Amino acid sequence: MSTSFRHDFIRFVIAQKVLAFGEFKTKAGRLSPYFFNAGLFHDGVALKTLGQFYAKAIVDSGLQFDMLFGPAYKGIPLAAALSIAFADAGRTLNYSFNRKEEKDHGEGGSVIGAKLAGRVLIIDDVISAGTSVRESVAIIKAAGATPCGVAIALDRMERGTGALSAVQEVKRDYDMPVISVANLDDLVEFLNVDQSLSAFLNPLNRYRDQYGIAAGA
């Protein structure tokens, strides 16, 4: 996947105000110089473009899969947008998603959409603590299907409580790949190129030095 593609994605999320710079407190209590909020992809054009970025990253990865799963809540529109992007490219993909609370009436159950089967690719925005991935893996396996990977928009490349990032922990714990459209290194490269955002480069580098995963990890 080319650097220009990843930079195009970063330019897109900044324009959508999905990626913002400043000072933001994370769930871990860290003061981050940037924040990624996928909930701000809230119009048709933005979702269509986002789905196209995901689709290219997934195709370029070479991963083989049969259907999509979007964990509630942010993964739901992402899986839908991605299935549309693949349809536009000539591939029809089933997708499903879960609800937070299981229903005991109507269609019942906790999974809505296509029946989980074959190799299932999980679609989410980011991986913070890995909670939604764990829940998704359990749902997919309980249905007799195989979780084969995770696709996310941005890999923060940030350590958790140990030496590994949440993304690395998912790779280790489930022995499956995590595909990201862009990562923190791409963001740093972009800020090096875009002079209008150069003021945010030093805070981002300091944060990466303090919390980033080790080089080559």
177 touches 147 (CB < 8 A): no
DSSP assignment letter at 117: -
Q: Establish whether 7 is a catalytic residue.
A: no
Beta bridge partner(s), residue 97: 70, 112
**Can you read off the two tokens belonging to residue 11?**
């330019």
Instruction: Mark whether 105 is an active-site residue.
Output: yes
d(CA 117, CA 93): 12
Per the residue annotation, which of 25, 42, 103, 141 is the catalytic one?
103
Residues 6 or more apart whose CB falls under 8 angstroms from that of 85 comprise 48, 51, 52, 54, 55
Which residue in 105, 115, 141, 171 is the catalytic one?
105
- Determine contact, residues 133/161, Cβ cutoff 8 Å: no
**ω before 73 within 30° of 0 (cis)?**
yes
- Name the token pair of 70: 């979007």
With a CB cutoff of 8 Å and minimum separation 6, the contacts of 214 are 163
CA dihedral of residues 180, 182, 184, 185 (deg, nearest 10): 110
Helices 201-211, 184-193: inter-axial angle, 10-degree rounding: 160
Query: Which residues are designated catalytic?
Result: 103, 105
